[in-house]
A and B are shown apart, each in its own frame.
Chain A
């Protein structure tokens, strides 16, 4: 699976949009981009995933560049409860390949 690069930490003011970048310059055509987050002392939580189109759900939006070498997770109105470590993962899709390899992620601190 392709390697990802994320900034180790970011701050965001409460109520503002949090934009978390991820570089995955060696991504292959059949690899998806996944985002998970881990709030302190809890298990990781799935946020969103995509292949090449932008995606949006109730939690966040995922913007993938046209060349697919990078992506941005957007939390439109960050709250204190969004303080967590955010993991960007790329992984081959399809049956029989479901393990996820977590890197160090980005520690997002939402500041009042």
Chain B
């Protein structure tokens, strides 16, 4: 079975540019999570969705970040405009609500903002 699929795996961009990260959750999963990982702050939850509805976005750092889940098989995390401090690995994870918290993570998208 295909796991959580993220794209792009690597992105290098310049400050001020728009960045869009994409995630395809595991088919049948109805919860989706976006995490960010840096050396300084570790793994931080940015936002999560249940049944395509954002439940908690308190981890989204500021208005430059936005996330959408237009359907059960696709989500995006957008940063506009990007800044060097946004450089991190962004992970998407999905789970089946009611499975007692087993999250399946993608391989991550490594973002570098110059």
Interface residues of A (CB under 8 A from B): 32, 34, 36, 41-46, 49, 87, 91, 93, 95-96, 98-104
- On whether the beta carbons of B42 and A104 are closer than 8 Å, the reply is yes
- On whether the beta carbons of A91 and B101 are closer than 8 Å, the reply is yes
Give the B interface residue count (CB, 8 A).
25
Q: How far is the CA of A32 from the CA of B48 in the complex (A)?
A: 20
> B35 contacts which chain A residues (CB < 8 A)?
102
SS class, residues of chain A in contact with chain B: loop
Counting CB contacts under 8 A, is B104 at the interface? yes
**Contacts between chains A and B (CB distance < 8 A), count:** 56
> A96 contacts which chain B residues (CB < 8 A)?
50, 55
Once A43-B106, A93-B101 are accepted as A-B contacts, the answer to whether A98 and B48 lie under 8 Å apart by CB is: yes
Interface core residue of A91, A93, A99 (most chain B CB under 10 Å): A99
Selected contact of B91 from candidates A44, A49, A87, A99, CB within 8 Å: A44
Once A44-B91, A103-B42 are accepted as A-B contacts, the answer to whether A98 and B97 lie under 8 Å apart by CB is: yes
Closest to A101 in B: B45
Q: How far is the CA of A86 from the CA of B98 in the complex (A)?
A: 24
- On whether the beta carbons of B104 and A46 are closer than 8 Å, the reply is yes
Between A and B, 16 residue pairs with Cβ closer than 8 Å are: A34-B101, A42-B107, A42-B108, A43-B105, A43-B107, A43-B108, A44-B105, A46-B104, A91-B101, A93-B101, A96-B50, A98-B101, A99-B56, A100-B45, A101-B45, A104-B42
